[in-house]
Amino acid sequence: MVNSLQDKTTLHNGVKMPWFGLGVWKAENGDEVANAVKTAIQSGYLSIDTAAAYKNEDGVGRGIKESGANREDLFITTKVWNADQGYDSTLAAFDESMKKLGLDYLDLYLIHWPVEGKYKDTWKAMEKLYKDGKVKAIGVCNFQIHHLKDLMEEAEVAPMVNQVEYHPQLAQKDLLQFCKDNQIQLEAWSPLMQGKLLDNPVLQEIATKHSKSTAHVILRWDLQNGVVTIPKSVKEHRIKGNAEVFDFELSREDMEKIDSLNKDERIGPDPDNFDF
């Protein structure tokens, strides 16, 4: 049972990753993202997830600095964007991200999308960064089972994390099981389906029963399924509120009701059919 913001899962290389973190997609660079990061860390969050594509890494770096936290207590993630994929360009993109973040090592570096014909070379660069000690863990985002199998055929280091769109209407059970079987930690982006699930009557009923919000119920479902989750917010009350998921537990019946909402419905791009 995950009991607090400080609780961690252990990745297959022994690195400990918090179960719960702050996502900063669409958070504006500058004060908005810096304040969100600072608020989150000062409220007990240890994990912050950004990406080169979000164009807010320097604001995230500022928030980390202003939070006053010890660097080694934090878990910072960023991602290499599609246009930078390939061996040399990934190494250059990493240096650029680190400069913006103002950090001398990264906790987790991810490939943002499985760009065909490129992600294997990108992975070789990730393995180099990992072996050189610049990154504590490496992983991917938006990889389906076939992408993972393809990557792992030649990989020297298996991915430690796969961050994917994951919510009650996109439960991805086969992918979750594959990742568990291969010691790859699944992580959810858009866990609240960008707010579209908040008035779902089934979730509302479960929320009322536990005196919680529908958002809490969804985030708790993630955690009880063994999925790391990083809800995005820039509002102080919501950053603090999202983290109130550690003082209740969903029953098996609750979990099954939520599972039954699955429609294999995406709100983001399809990893097998994207063109960016």
Asked if residue 1 has pLDDT above 90, the reply is no
CA distance 178 to 164: 13
Is 215 contained in some domain?
Answer: yes
Is 272 contained in some domain?
Answer: no
- In terms of residue numbers, what domain contains 108? 8-259
Asked if residue 16 has pLDDT above 90, the reply is yes
Is 195 contained in some domain?
Answer: yes
Is 170 contained in some domain?
Answer: yes
- Starting at the edge strand found earlier in the chain, the sheet holding 22-23 runs 22-23, 47-49, 75-80, 106-111, 135-141, 161-165, 185-189, 228-229
Distances in whole angstroms, Cα of residue 91 to Cα of each of 96, 141, 202, 263, 270: 9, 18, 46, 39, 27
Could you read off the pLDDT of 64-92 as tens digits, one per residue?
999 999 999 999 999 999 999 999 999 99
Is 210 contained in some domain?
Answer: yes
Is 268 contained in some domain?
Answer: no
Asked if residue 49 has pLDDT above 90, the reply is yes
User: 182 pLDDT band (50/70/90 cuts)?
Assistant: very high
Could you read off the pLDDT of 107-143 as tens digits, one per residue?
999 999 999 999 999 999 999 999 999 999 999 999 9
Q: Buried (b) or exposed (e) across 188-213, using 16+ Cβ within 10 A?
A: bbbbbbeeebbebebbeebbeebebb
Q: Please state the pTM of the whole predicted model.
A: 0.98
User: 104 pLDDT band (50/70/90 cuts)?
Assistant: very high
**Res 233: pLDDT:** 94
Could you read off the pLDDT of 220-249 as tens digits, one per residue?
999 999 999 999 999 999 999 999 999 999
| Average pLDDT of the residues of the chain | 97
Number of domains in the chain: 1
Is 208 contained in some domain?
Answer: yes
CA-atom Rg of the chain in angstroms: 18
The CATH number of whichever domain residue 141 belongs to comes to 3.20.20.100
Instruction: Show which residues are catalytic.
Output: 54
Is 68 contained in some domain?
Answer: yes
Once rounded to an integer, what is the mean pLDDT over residues 151-175?
A: 98
